[in-house]
Amino acid sequence: MSADRLYAYVGAVLVALALYAFLVHTHVLRRLLAFNVMGGGTFLILVGLAQDGRGPDPVPQALVLTGIVVAVSATALAIILLRRWFATSQTTSLPEDGSS
């Protein structure tokens, strides 16, 4: 098994772990972190699977680079929203569906 394939396997494990954390935790910051880890896993699968045994593949690399930049800015925006939410509501989790 090449190192590239190993990256893809690690990516699959990361996605599964992050999904679990995302579903279980209600703290919004934890959810945001879990979502970021999930994104990282996706990037690993994309790059690792594409260049396994074929050498570097620039198209997924460019895709992932674009994805990283968007993920960074979206995370920053999410943290800003989160801080605003905490300042106004004094809670760190969002209201459950059905409860008021």
Q: Rule CB under 8 A: choose which of 27, 72, 91, 94 binds another protein.
A: 72
8 lies in the binding site for another protein (CB under 8 A): yes
Cα 73-77-82 angle, rounded to 5 deg: 145
Among 2, 27, 77, 92, indicate the residue that binds another protein (CB under 8 A).
Answer: 77
Residues in 30-69 at the binding interface with another protein, rule: CB under 8 A: 45, 48-49, 51-52, 54-59, 61-63, 65-66, 68-69
The tokens for 84 are 């605003």
User: Is the dihedral angle over the CA atoms 35, 36, 37, 38 positive or is it negative?
Assistant: positive
Count of C-beta atoms within a 10 Å radius of residue 49: 17
98: buried, middle or exposed (CB in 10 Å: 19+, 13-18, 0-12)? Answer: exposed
Per CB under 8 A, residues contacting another protein are 5, 8-9, 11-13, 15-17, 19-20, 23-24, 45, 48-49, 51-52, 54-59, 61-63, 65-66, 68-70, 72-74, 76-77, 79-81, 83-84, 86-88, 90
